[in-house]
Chain A
Amino acid sequence: MAGLERVVGEHPFFAGLPAEYSQLVAGCARNHRFAAEQYLFHEGEPANEFFLVRHGKVALEIHSPGRPPIVFGTLGEGEIVGASWLIPPYRWTFDARAVEVTRAIGIDAACLRRKCEADHHLGYEMMKRLLPVFVKRLHATRLQILDVYGKS
């Protein structure tokens, strides 16, 4: 656990998190190693766990019948994979595939939600970290859908 607590504390997403909260989060964490082409999760599956990438690269994909999957984003070292664990019905809305060997910390979503519910200060610390990530991704998505490199 001490090792995981250190790994959690050192991840950029948790930078500045008070030690007692690192300990609480580490209690919900485990290490993962995904081989290249291995899926972290698939669309429609329960979002029971989210991931903090330590090394490697993860492609976010959407499938449509009869067509190859479309990759709409990649995430790498220091980034967080997955938001669906935060909001009901807690199911993934896309696939996540390791592009190369990827090491990540998996956080048990139900465990962390429970701890955040019990200690709102921890919940606020989590929100302060999650919200900027998702707002930046929303802004990036807006830029992405503008198709700025196409002929105007």
Chain B
Amino acid sequence: MAEAPVLDPFVPQLYRIEDVRRELSDIVTLQLRPMVGTRPPFDPGQFNMLYVFGIGEVPISMSGDRRQAAFVHTVRDVGAVSGAIARLDVGATIGVRGPFGTSWPVGVAEAADVVIVAGGLGIAPLRPAIYEVLANRKRYGRVVILVGSRNPKDLLYRSELEDWRRRLDVDIEVTVDHADADWRGNVGVVPGLIPRAAFEPRDTVALVCGPEVMMRFTVNALREAGVAPERIYLSMERNMKCAIGLCGHCQFGPTFVCKDGPVMRYDKIADIFAVREL
């Protein structure tokens, strides 16, 4: 894919929505194509600023395969801008700035076991990393994917999870907080799956994304299992505005989540991770 020319990071580029997939009642996945040229390359874990004209701009992680020609974003309707994005139809125009931020360490994880822990919508930013690992499966040791959801009907990317489950070279476990008796899978919180998973903790790289409370419990479970703090990576979320570390809205201790994150190594933020004022 040809690289786009260097663009002013403050100027949104025009993209057209070429596909809309309604995942859940409040979650959609959009495919975006640039109206001119090709999209810039990105790494799994990075995000774009999506701009609905006249309403506003929000940071949304990539959720598609980087080999795909379009940008893919999965958006949950939680506010004015994300709600407006979730209501856009095929053919609509949207502004895009990006890609921005740090990425999942899929290269660092080569030859190691990879444990991917996703909670709720947290599977969306992890999905490009999963595509990457599965596309280069032989380069990794064991691959464990642990997914938590509120209940079975809120499970995101369900058909894809089933496809991955059919692979013999991936261990995938899904758990929900509550279920009825028809659910054959696990019930309980996603950190509870970690002690049951088969991986070599000293030779594991863990990628974690979900609500911050869930990530704190997951880090504890990974640490207890023996995974070193420098081998645990989290995708952080803060109020990002400029996306290039200038405005300070997303300051997290001495770091800016938009520039030094969103993917951060746990040992580098361990001291501030549980500080509530941050």
Contact = CB atoms under 8 A, between A and B. Distances in A.
Interface of A: 57, 59-61, 68-74, 76-78, 97, 99-100, 136, 139-140, 143-144, 146-151
Contact of A71 (B148, B183, B217): B183
A100 B154 CA distance: 24
Given A139-B217, A140-B192, A147 B177 contact: yes
A59 B175 CA distance: 12
B179 A71 contact: yes
Contact of B188 (A68, A74, A147): A74
Contacts of B180: 68-71
A149 B188 contact: no
Interface residues of B, number: 31
5 contacts: A74-B175, A74-B186, A143-B217, A144-B178, A144-B189
A149 B148 contact: yes
Contacts of A68: 180-181
B120 A97 contact: no
A100 B186 CA distance: 12
Nearest to B217: A143
Contacts of A74: 175, 185-188
A74 B192 CA distance: 10
B213 interface: yes
Nearest to B120: A149
Given A147-B177, A149-B120, A151-B78, A71 B187 contact: yes
B149 A149 contact: yes
B211 interface: yes
Given A71-B181, A148-B214, 18 more contacts: A59-B187, A61-B181, A68-B180, A69-B181, A70-B178, A70-B180, A72-B178, A74-B187, A74-B188, A78-B196, A99-B184, A140-B189, A143-B189, A143-B191, A144-B188, A148-B210, A149-B119, A149-B154
A148 B180 CA distance: 19
A59 B154 CA distance: 20
Chain A interface, >50% SS class = mixed
Given A140-B192, A149-B154, A150-B150, A97 B187 contact: no
B188 A140 contact: yes
Contacts of A70: 178-180
Chain B interface, >50% SS class = mixed
A76 to B, nearest CB: 6
Contacts of A147: 150, 177
Contacts of A140: 188-189, 191-192, 217
A147 B179 CA distance: 13
Interface in B130-165: 148-150, 154
A74 to B, nearest CB: 5
Nearest 5 A-B pairs (CB), nearest first? A149-B120, A148-B211, A149-B150, A74-B187, A71-B179
B214 A72 contact: no
B197 to A, nearest CB: 11
Contacts of A57: 186
B187 A73 contact: yes
A71 B191 contact: no
A78 B198 CA distance: 13
A146 B196 CA distance: 23
Interface in B13-41: 26
Contacts of B178: 70-72, 144
A148 B118 CA distance: 12
B211 A149 contact: yes
A146 B119 contact: no
Nearest to B77: A151
